[in-house]
Structure formats: structure tokens, C-alpha cells
Structure 1
Amino acid sequence: MKIHLHQQIRIMTTKYLFIATLFSTLTFAQSQQDSLKQIEQVNILVKKKLLERKADRLIFNVDASIASQGMDAGETLANVPMLKVDENMGTISIIGKSNVNVMINGKMLNLSGMALLNYLKSIRSENISKIEVITTPPSKYEAQGNSGLINIILKKNPNLGFSGNISTGLTQRTYFNGYTNGTLNYQTEKFSLSLKTNYIKGAKRSNERFNIIGQSQNYSESTRKDMWEDLTPSLNASYKINKNSEVGIEYIFDNGKNGMNILNTTKNISPELDETNFITNTFHREKSPTHTLSTYYDLKLDSLGKKLSLTGNFYRNDNPTEVNFSTLTLPQNTIQDVKTLSKIKPQIFSIQGDLELPFSFGTIETGVKYNQFRNSADLKYLTLEDNQYIIDEEKGSQFLYKEENYAAYASFAKTFGEHWETKAGLRYENTLVKSSVKDFTYGQWFPSAYISYKQEKNVFSLSYSRRINRPNMSNLNPFRWYSNPNSYSTGNPLLTPSYINNYELGYTYNNKLSASIYYLRLKNAFGQVSSLDLVSQTGTYLNYYNNSFYGANLSYTDSFFKFWETSFSMNSSYQTSEVFNIEADTFDGYSVSYSWNNTFFLNKNKTVAVFLNYEHQLPYRNVAYHFKNFMEMSSGIKISLMEKQLQINATVNNIFAMRYKADIYFRDSQQSFNNYWDGRAFRLSVNYTFGNKKKQIQKKAINFEEKDRAQ
């Protein structure tokens, strides 16, 4: 009986233990489920933080923008407040400022123009964590340009293996355009490899009208077919030597081929009212094989974040160009056949070292950089006489240019409690220039300072930076681009840099509203100036004006009714100017522009959406220019399939087919232009990501900021 009783007690005890364990497990599971729900709720709240303002930048969190999902990086940038992406012109700019440089994970992309936009098509918005807009770049970055910086931060991903991406698209303007991108990535714990090929081929029709009315009158109209074909394979590889050091290399080969067929008609009326007409057919063919090689070495000095980075870059472009044009002159009824042969060879080499030192009292950043820029240009001008081309020595040119730049910088950043964040830096650049025309040396200091204050939903920031804008090769090269035997444009090797001071006060509320006021002072600025000497129309670059801008930016992004996401941006400014080296009437005036982007979701899963975007630049005056009204509307649909691995987008841009117009007022003439660059376009793109979508490789893009000056 005792044994039986003990067995019953053991069985009952086991049952109670099982029930208790089961209850405990269920309770724990429910607790875990509740915790997961809480985490999901927290994540939802986090995702609502669309905008963040730091001391030196505005941050756009891509995951918080539903309208940015299922897009490529270029389309995503267009959703960022105060950014403008113009695929027709091949530019990315900050509204109210000039074009920007684009970085990936803090390192400059070695691409610009259409090549940059084509590259961005291969990056999906799902792989982007955030986008930083830096309107006043700190001292760590090159002082070159007033453009500001865009930093695309990709999501970190520890997963290993293969992944890939294939995208293709077409654009129908006047002519058909197409592109194809392919990417294959492979990553192990130590080694990563990315192979990418971009191919683009297309054409567009442009119409440009330019008039000069003075002592003589000149009316010119060009109808142009621009053609391009570009194959760009690239290789990016990195290897982790150990847990503290990594080495990497990137090589890009751009095998570009461009061409233009141009019909130009020019009517010239002399002071005696004699009329001469020129009808010129031009055939322009150009090859532009480009090599870019970049390497880096990163070394973590300790577990606290101290880091040493070494980077080297090399760029070379051999650019042979042949231009043939035939001009019929009326009423003389004569024909002149001319050919120009040019070879332009820009070459850039740079090396730099950066040291990041976080301490308990603040973070110190310091570094040095050396950059060498070389260019040789040789232009031959030939006229056809007795069925044989004869070189005209007077109209040809040769130009040699060498520039060396030595730079050093240091900055200090510190946070005070939960509310204050500060950063200040100083950069010095010394430049030596030797050319066929002039040798000179100049050195300049470039300070920067930032401070921000955060209190609950309110963030205030104040920033200042000084910048320099050096002329690029198209500005400096005395190469003559002829539209007919009497009209040409040329660069000016005597150009000197311009300098910019930026002051900006920013404010962000509730991570949705962003506002700023700014003052920008531009001194010794340069641009192209046209003149008319009887029948000869010439254009050249001059340092000729100073500018002051007092401006304000405002943007607001929000979601309504669970199916509508909208973003509104506005820029307004008041500008004053003065001119030198030319005789012109200057204008002080106001500028106002705004844009309104809307995305409407058609299903509950938000995989089908239509969008309608509108932007408007009101008429404004600046220096001697009076710019006319310009507005643009675009609309389209995007569809996500196969758990967002397949993306289909269709868009119509510039529905109203607007033209760019302006009048220019000089003391001795009034000039005007009226241009249309085939802006109305239908675009269809398809993107497919294969492999595990969580295996996207995160590669390091290497800093090479000088490359744009080779253009």
C-alpha cells in the first residue's frame, strides 16, 4: 500500500509540475507576444520620425516615408525635402543652391551627371537607411563648391552569400531611350565583391533660341539631336585583414560615346540694316574612355571608435572629338566647310589621410590631403579648300594646365547633456597653378561652426561655413566651340576662384516640419558672357559679379487617411548684386519657388500607388538676368510584386512641356534665350532583386571630390 501511495503522489506531483510548467510557458509566450507587440508599436513610433536635424545636417529617414518605398535611389532623393532631381538635365540640386555632390556611407561617388543618375537606379530604397542633406559642409570635406553634400546611408547587413539586381527601363521623348543595369554581389565574413555593369543608350531633341539686340542684331536658333551610348562596368572589392583593419579597391571604366547633329540658323542685321543669314549643319562625334581607380585602408585603433583612414584616387580621361560643320551664307550664296579636331586629356591624382579620435571630452577629427590636377588640350581648326583641309593656325589652340592643392583640417565636436550638440572646424588649402598662360599661388582658410539645441519636439540649429568655387576645365580651356564660322564660345584661362560664406539657422518640429533662414555671400563669381561685334558672336567666361542672398526654406511632410502621403516645400529669397568687368544693369529682386509631391495608395497592402507631383518657379531677377515663369508637373504609377522583389514604375514628366526663358540686360545690348530640352517624357522601369533580399552587400564608396572639375 505504501508503494502504491507513493506512486500516486509521484504521478500527481508530475501532473502538477507539468501543468505549472505549461502555465509558465504560456504566460512567458504571452509575455513575449506582448513584448513583441510593444516593440512593434515602438518601431511604428520610430518610423514616424521622418526628419531629424543635427548640428550640421538634416536627416531624412527613408523607412518613415511610405512614398519612397519600391523606388530607386534617384527617385528616393526626389522625395527628400528641398532636393530636386532633374533627369532631363542630369542634375541633383538643393533648391536655392547649385548642384550637389553625392556620397555613399560618407564617401564620395566617382560619378556625375547622367552616369550618376544611372548608377543610383541600381540602389533600391529598401536598402537605404537614411539620407543626410548637408547644406554647409564641415571642414572634413573639400572646400570646393557651394553645392552642399548628400550622404546616402545604406542599411547594415551581417548576412553572407550571393545577391543581385537587374533593372531595365525605357524613356520615350522625341526619340527612344533605354538603359539596363546589372549587379552581382558576393560576401563572406572577410571578403566582399561587387560587379556592376551599366548600359545606357538614347537621344533627345533640343531647341535653343538666343537673341542679341544692340548696335547690331543677331537672331540664332539651334535644333539639336543629342545622342549618347555609355557602357560602364565596375569592380568593387574589400578584404578584412583582421577585426581592426580593412583594405578595398574600386575600378570604374566608362566607355562613353556621344554625338550631336545640329541645324543652326542665324540672322544678322548690321547697323546699316544689311541682313546676312547663316545656315549651318554640324556633326559632332566624341569618344570619352574614362578610367577611375580608388583604394582605401581603414584601421580601428581601439574599441572606443578611434580610426585611421587612408585613401588614394586616380582618374584619367582621353577625349578625342571631331566636329564637322558646313555653312551656307545668304544672300552671298557661299558655302564654307570647316572641321575641328581636338584632344583633351584631364588627369587627377589624390591621396589623403583622416583620423577620427573620440574621447570622453569630445571627438577630434583631423586629416591631410594632396591633390594634383593636370590637363592638356589641343585644338586644330581646318578649312576645306580645293577638296583639301588646310589648318588655320590662328583659330587653333593648345593649352597646358597643372594644379596642385595641399590641404589640412581639424575639427572638434562635443555634446552637452541631452540638449546641446556643437562642432567647429578649420581647413587650410594652398593651391599652386601653372598653365600656358599664367602661373600663380594662393592659400585660404576655411572655417566652419555648428550648434544645435533639442527640446522635446523642437530642434534648433545654427551653422556657418566658408567655401571656394574653382573653375572647371570647360571654364578654363581656351578651346573654341563654333556654331558657325563667325560665332563661338570659349573658356578663359585667366579665371580666378570665387568665395562663398554660408550662414543658416534651422528649425525642425515633430520630425515633420523643417524650416530655415539663410544668408549667402558670393564674391568674385564667374559665368559665361556673350557679346556681338557686327557679325561675330562670341561667348566667354568672366569673373564679373558679387551676390548676396537672404532666403528661407520651408518643408512639411505628413500622411493622411492612411492612403495619402504628401510633401510640400518652398524656397524664397531676396538677392542683391553688383557687377564688374562688364557694363550691365543689375537687378535686386525676390525669388519664390515651391513643390508639392503626393502619393496615393490604391490597396491596403500599399503595393499599388499613383503619384502626382508639381513644382513652380515664379519669375525672378538676379544680377543682369530676368528669368521667366517655369512650372512642371509629373504623374505616374508604381507597383510592387513578389514581396517587393519586383518593382514596376511608369511616369510622365513635364506634362506641360515648359521652356526655360530669360532676358539679360547689358548697357550696350539686350539678350534673351528660350530653350526646350525635350523635358516631356514617358518613363517605364522594371527592377528585380534576386537572392535573399537581406543579403545586400554594403560596400564602401571612396572619397574623390575633385573629379567633377574635369568636366
Structure 2
Amino acid sequence: MRPTFAIFITLLSFVQVYGQDTTKPKQVQLKAIEVTSKKPLLEQNIDRTVVNVDAMISAASSNTLEVLNKTPGVTVDQNGNINLNGKGVLVLINGRTTYMSGQDLANYLKGLPGSTLDKIELMDAPPAKYDAGGGAVINLRLKKSTILGLTGNISLSANQGIYARTYDNINLNYNYKKMNWFGSLSYSRDASYDEDKTNRKYFTNDLDVYLVSHIRGRSNTKGLRLGMDYNVSAKTVIGFEINGQQRPSIYTRDYTSKTNTDSSSTGFTYSDASWKNFSSNMNFLHRFNDKGHELSADASYITYNNHDLQDLNNDSYFFHYNLLSDMKIFAAKADYVHPIGIEAGVKSSFVKNNYDSRYLNEKIMQVDSNSNHFIYDENINAAYINARKQWKRWGAQAGLRIENTNLRGKQPGNTAIAPSLFHRSYTQAFPTVFISYKLDSAGNHTLSWNLGRRVNRPNYQQLNPFVAFENSYTYATGNPNLRPQTNYRTELKYQYKQWLGLGVQYNWFKDIIFTLSDVVDNIYISKPQNVAKGYIAMVLLNLSLHPAKWWDLNVNIMAGGMKLNGQAYAAPMNYGTYSARVRLYNQFNLSHGWSAEASGDYSGRNVNGQDVINPRYIMYAGIQKKFWNNQATLKLNAEDIFHSAGQNDHSEGVKDSYYTHRGIFDSQKIGLAFTYRFGRETFARKRNHSDNTADQEQERAK
């Protein structure tokens, strides 16, 4: 025991000598609100990690999805799926759920300029206040100021890869007497390029198929945000916020297939889509006193509409589709907080989805097996209570959330397809426990332990049983019988100030949802299934170092192993892997207003259902110059310098078949951004109102 104890004391001594204490109060000059100490990239709080987006040079010339992919612990795969430390996430914007997931959520975040972000909050173990959907929570905080007078900032950016892109936005804030108005306008011109190469081998008939596809897309996103907070009295605040986004887009997909029997085919898809989103929110906050005794409530109404005209054709047939989707959401909640350490709340949400896939032949609607109409309604009612207590060194928190889910799916059918209907209701409990202990009287060294249960619900499109055509050898369909995936998680963590975080985490999963492929007549038919149980055990390390006066370094490491145990059609899924994720982020504070950054990201081998993903790495760099009394900034950055972000994978457990896959996309880019902060800044009004009062829910509309 003595050598181990000596090593531990030596490590703590090193921390105390070389660690940078970033918890000291920032120096503020009231005359001009000039913060003289620079914000760190990461701030470690008791229940979350906070990322200060302005500390990223590349954020101004990136979209929000790209900023997330550079955030420690966060991964975004080639299909736009977001994970935090290996778990699926619930994405919130200003504390409110987006109700989208998968490719829809990815497209929405691509249309949101990174310059609109203020902070990103990462909650690996969310408390009972937050919805149970998603293994973890990522909350995107948009910029909003409480400085008196008229203030704002403008950001203009462009980057060039294979195609050019631009992300522009302007934020305005007017705070006068009892009213605080805020708003923003944004415009994004995005483009994409993907190339996929797949080699498939079919063992039963000794057939080899080589598939190559190219996807090209472009979109123009226009966004509007407007809101107001009104101080009815010193204790009561009411407010509203509206958001709108419109994104017309066009994408094309061409593919070629060749076999070892000298047969070949070609195909082409053209899509012209118009996507719109509108959301409105009204909120209320009443503070009974200045000790944290308060009541808050809000209500949100959200709509998503998409109209997509698609032409699909290959050597032997032609499809023309008019794809209509419509989603309406209403959610209301109330929260009560008492300073004795009690917090409680209730929430109800109602979601109505309508997917109408209309097949046209010679511009005439055909009611046959090629058409599909899917209607899905969902109602979730929730209540929670959370209690916390702090002693001199000990701290404890326990919470319980109860969610009652009622869902109904219907496919009306037609002359070729029989109607189908499913209905389910169930109630689930989600407990959370958190215990902390300060190892010293100053609270610099802290041990904590937490335990919780959450679920990953299938997104709405995964429940749609309609069969979609991709190419002559690949179809996709949904599964109305999917059950939510259950996640159990526990972690023991040591934290030293803001300098060092070291955790050991264990996650156990049941009813894991994977999209698996079955092979029927040489056609891969992919379908989401509850197919396995498994676990992920990992060690997480976060270091915030200050090697020199001009150099800040953040090191984020996640390493461990995972194991699956299940059945994929006729093949067992009893395999796993060991893997590591390493992310380095360097900031260099140079003289005369210059600063720079350099970062690198390594992802080890990974398993996702039947896909075994090979290791890969990516590197970024940027430089910026501040001028005009630090009100203006010019930023230059390079993304994926070695064009190494593409994905290589192969199959494991596909029935009577094996494939290898290589995918690359337009990730190697160079960007330039200009930002300017304007307005006369006096002093900040002290207000505790947070727009987090209208919580969670738009996460699953794939």
C-alpha cells in the first residue's frame, strides 16, 4: 500500500505546483464590461462540463454540428448521429428539446452557425429534472446579453473544401428598464459531398458485388430568432421567444454496381426539398425570495414541415415521389424549487407525426405498394422530485422521475397493403443518486459517485414500416415493434479544481437498438431491431494544463472496452472490442492580439451493430488577430488537414455475406471568419432568470 500512497501524494503535489486554478473570479471593469481574464475552453461543474464556444477559433467559420464534433467527449458519425462518451444524447437548445434526431437533427444543426453559440453544456449523468430520453444530455446555449443599452455582434464567414460554404449571423440585444429584447438573423449556404465504396461477398452463390455511390447536396438556410424578457416586478419575470428556420435543399445521388459475373447497373436519385420549422415559447418565473425559492412554468408549440420531390431511376424502372411530412408538438411544464434542497416538477408533451409518401406514375398518384402513409401520435406525462443536502464535506442528491408514455401508430393501407395499427402504454421510473466528498477543507480535491437509469427511445421514422429503395442491392425499412433501449450507468470520479478530472464509468444496456441488415435474394434489407444487451466500461481523463504563460493545453482521454451479447437474424452477436478516444486541444496566446490553436483527435476501433469501424484521426489548426480595441476579430482555420476523417469499416455477423466499406466526405476545408462586437456597454443587470425553464423534447424526428 505504501508505494501506491506515495505515487498518489506525488501526483497531488504535481497538481498543486503546476495546475492552473481557473476557478478564481474574473476581473470586470464596470465602465466597459471588459473581462481581463480569458475564458477557458472547459469549465468543470458538479453535474456538467461547460464548453465556452468563443474559446474555439474555428467555431465562427463552422456550423454547430462541426463545433460539436470538436467538443471533448462528443462524437458525430458519418450519418450525423451524436454521442457523448459512447452514449446517445438528448439535444436541447436553451434547455428545450429539439424533437429531432438522426439526419434531421444533423441537417438542422448544419444550418445553425457556430457563431450563434455561447456555451455547450455536457451532462453525462443528468439529474431527474431532465427528460429520461437519451443516455446523456447536450444543451446548446445561444447568445443572449443582459447588458444595458443596445449591443450586438456580427459574424461573417466562408470556408472552401470541394465546395464553398458560408455561415453568417447577426445578434442584437436591447435592454432598457424592465424589458430585455433579443434576436438574431442567420444565413447559411451549406454543401456536401460523400463518396461510398462497398465490396460485398455472398457466400451461398459465390457472388461479388462492387457498389460506388456519390452524393452531392446544397442547401440555403435562413433563420430568425426573437424574444423578450419583461420584469413585471423585482420578483417576477415573464417572457416569450419565437424561432423560425427555412431550408430549401437539393441533393443528387448516383450509384454504379458491378459483379464478378460481368453484370452491371447504374442509378440516379434527385431530391428537391423544402424544410420549415417554427417554434414559440412563453415562460414565467417568480422568485419568492433571494435564497433560491422560486416557481417557473412555460409552454412551447413547435412545427416541422418538409416537402420533398424525389426522382429515383435505374436501368429498369423509374420512381417519382412526393414525400410530405408534418410534425406538431405541444409541451408544457412547471418546476418548483425550495431552498431547503427540494425541487419538483411536472410536464406533458403531445407529438403528432404525419408521413405521407406518394408514388406518382406519369404525374398521377398511384395507390399501390409503392405508396405509404404513416401516422404516429405520442403523449408523455412526467413528474419528478429531487432532494439534495450539503454538509461540511459531504454532499448528497437523490431524484426520481416517473414517465408515462402513450403511443399510437397507424398505416391506413391501400388496395395493395393491408392497414396496420399498434398502440402501447407503459410507465417507467428513473432514479438518480449522487454523492460527493471533499477531501480537504478548501474543497480543491473532490470524490464523487453517481448512479442513474435512462432510456433511448426509437426515433419516429424508425417506427415507420415503409420499405425505401436505395439501390438495386439495398433496401431500408422501419420497425413499429421497437422497444426503448434501457441504459444503466454508474461512475466514480476524482476532481482537482479545474485542472484534473479522473473517472471510472460502467454502462450497462438492455434492448440495444441497432440497424441490422438481412440478406434476401442478394439484397441487403436494413431494419432497426432490439437485438442485444451489453456493457461499456471505461476510464475518462480530462487535464487542463498550463505548460507556459502563453500555452494552454486540454487533454481528453476515454479508454475502455465494450461487449455485445445478442442475435442478428441467424448470426450471433457475441463480440466486443477495446478502444480509446484521445483529443488534444492547444491554445497559444501570442502578443499584439494574436492567438492560435491546434488540435487533434484519435478514435480507436469501434463496433456499431454489424459494423466494425477501423481507427482514424483528424487534425485542425487556426489563428486569429484581434483589433479595433478587441471589438473585431479575424480568424483563419484549417479543418481535417490530412483528409483523414473518412470511415473504413467491415461487417461482423451478416448472414451468408461479408462486406468492406470506405466512406469519405468533404471534410478538408480552409475557412475565414470576421466577427465584430458593437454597441455601448454599461453595466450588467443582476438577474437570475434562465431560459432553461422550458425544458426538453424535440429529439427523435429522424
TM above 0.5, yes or no, is: yes
Aligned equivalent of 1:338, options 307, 313, 319: 319
Residue 621 of structure 1 and its aligned partner are, at CA, apart by: 4.2
Residue 582 of structure 1 and its aligned partner are, at CA, apart by: 2.1
Give the match for residue 614 of structure 2: 628
Q: Is the 8 A contact 2:518 2:655 kept in 1?
A: no
Give the match for residue 431 of structure 1: 405
The answer to whether residue 299 in structure 2 is matched with residue 351 in structure 1 is no
User: Quick one: which amino acid aligns to residue 216 of structure 2?
Assistant: K
Secondary structure of the corresponding residue to residue 474 of structure 1:
helix
1:197-596 correspondence to structure 2 within 5 Å: 197-214=185-202, 215=204, 216-268=207-259, 274-328=261-315, 335-359=316-340, 363-383=341-361, 391=366, 393-417=368-392, 419-436=393-410, 437-456=421-440, 457-484=444-471, 487-580=474-567, 582-586=569-573, 587-596=575-584
Residue 379 of structure 1 and its aligned partner are, at CA, apart by: 1.1
Give the match for residue 14 of structure 1: none
User: Quick one: which amino acid aligns to residue 621 of structure 2?
Assistant: S
Q: Is the 8 A contact 2:111 2:221 kept in 1?
A: no
Aligned equivalent of 1:113, options 79, 102, 106: 106
User: Quick one: which amino acid aligns to residue 163 of structure 1?
Assistant: T
Residue 40 of structure 1 and its aligned partner are, at CA, apart by: 8.7
Secondary structure of the corresponding residue to residue 531 of structure 2:
strand
Residue 117 of structure 1 and its aligned partner are, at CA, apart by: 6.1
Q: Distance in 2 between matches of 1:461 and 1:338?
A: 58
Residue 465 of structure 1 and its aligned partner are, at CA, apart by: 1.2
Secondary structure of the corresponding residue to residue 136 of structure 2:
coil
Q: Percent identity?
A: 24
Q: Distance in 2 between matches of 1:396 and 1:450?
A: 51
* RMSD of Structure 2 on Structure 1 (CA): 3.3
Q: Provide closer, same or farther for how the CA distance between residues 376 and 266 of structure 1 changes in structure 2, counting only shifts above 3 A.
A: same
Q: Distance in 1 between matches of 2:369 and 2:115?
A: 48
Give the match for residue 183 of structure 2: 195
Give the match for residue 32 of structure 1: none
Q: Distance in 2 between matches of 1:163 and 1:452?
A: 41
Q: Is the 8 A contact 1:478 1:490 kept in 2?
A: yes
Structure (1 or 2) with the larger CA radius of gyration: 1
Q: Distance in 1 between matches of 2:51 and 2:168?
A: 28
Return 145-154 or 193-202, whichever deviates more.
Answer: 145-154
- TM-score relative to the length of structure 2: 0.84
User: Quick one: which amino acid aligns to residue 597 of structure 1?
Assistant: Y
Secondary structure of the corresponding residue to residue 571 of structure 2:
coil
Q: Provide closer, same or farther for how the CA distance between residues 40 and 625 of structure 1 changes in structure 2, counting only shifts above 3 A.
A: closer
Q: Is the 8 A contact 2:515 2:609 kept in 1?
A: no
Q: Distance in 2 between matches of 1:696 and 1:582?
A: 61
Q: Is the 8 A contact 2:61 2:671 kept in 1?
A: no
The answer to whether residue 143 in structure 2 is matched with residue 147 in structure 1 is no
Q: Distance in 2 between matches of 1:71 and 1:599?
A: 17
Q: Is the 8 A contact 2:60 2:155 kept in 1?
A: no
Q: Distance in 1 between matches of 2:216 and 2:599?
A: 28
Gaps of 5+ in 2: 1-23, 30-34, 411-420
Return 556-565 or 165-174, whichever deviates more.
Answer: 556-565
Secondary structure of the corresponding residue to residue 400 of structure 1:
strand
Q: Provide closer, same or farther for how the CA distance between residues 152 and 252 of structure 1 changes in structure 2, counting only shifts above 3 A.
A: closer
- TM-score relative to the length of structure 1: 0.83
Q: Provide closer, same or farther for how the CA distance between residues 213 and 366 of structure 1 changes in structure 2, counting only shifts above 3 A.
A: same
Cα displacement string for residues 543-580 of structure 1 (whole angstroms, at most 9, x for unaligned residues): 11222011111121112221211111111111111113
Q: Distance in 1 between matches of 2:323 and 2:26?
A: 62
Number of residue-to-residue matches in the alignment = 647
Residue 325 of structure 1 and its aligned partner are, at CA, apart by: 2.0
Residue 667 of structure 1 and its aligned partner are, at CA, apart by: 3.9
Q: Provide closer, same or farther for how the CA distance between residues 62 and 695 of structure 1 changes in structure 2, counting only shifts above 3 A.
A: farther
Q: Is the 8 A contact 1:318 1:344 kept in 2?
A: yes
Return 216-225 or 311-320, whichever deviates more.
Answer: 216-225
Give the match for residue 633 of structure 2: 647
Give the match for residue 23 of structure 1: none
Return 93-102 or 591-600, whichever deviates more.
Answer: 93-102
Give the match for residue 598 of structure 1: 586
Return 516-525 or 658-667, whichever deviates more.
Answer: 658-667
Q: Distance in 2 between matches of 1:77 and 1:454?
A: 32
Secondary structure of the corresponding residue to residue 698 of structure 2:
helix
Return 535-544 or 241-250, whichever deviates more.
Answer: 535-544
Q: Distance in 2 between matches of 1:209 and 1:380?
A: 31
Q: Distance in 2 between matches of 1:579 and 1:424?
A: 33
Aligned equivalent of 1:82, options 49, 70, 73: 73
Q: Distance in 1 between matches of 2:669 and 2:153?
A: 25
Give the match for residue 87 of structure 2: 97
Q: Distance in 2 between matches of 1:78 and 1:258?
A: 23
User: Quick one: which amino acid aligns to residue 619 of structure 1?
Assistant: R
Q: Distance in 2 between matches of 1:39 and 1:196?
A: 30
Q: Provide closer, same or farther for how the CA distance between residues 40 and 227 of structure 1 changes in structure 2, counting only shifts above 3 A.
A: closer
Residue 203 of structure 1 and its aligned partner are, at CA, apart by: 1.2
Aligned equivalent of 2:122, options 133, 140, 144: 133
User: Quick one: which amino acid aligns to residue 180 of structure 2?
Assistant: S
Residue 336 of structure 1 and its aligned partner are, at CA, apart by: 2.4
Q: Distance in 2 between matches of 1:151 and 1:321?
A: 28
Q: Is the 8 A contact 1:656 1:680 kept in 2?
A: yes
Q: Distance in 2 between matches of 1:701 and 1:48?
A: 22
User: Quick one: which amino acid aligns to residue 705 of structure 1?
Assistant: Q
The answer to whether residue 169 in structure 2 is matched with residue 181 in structure 1 is yes
Q: Is the 8 A contact 1:588 1:622 kept in 2?
A: no
Q: Distance in 2 between matches of 1:629 and 1:292?
A: 40
Q: Distance in 1 between matches of 2:127 and 2:197?
A: 41
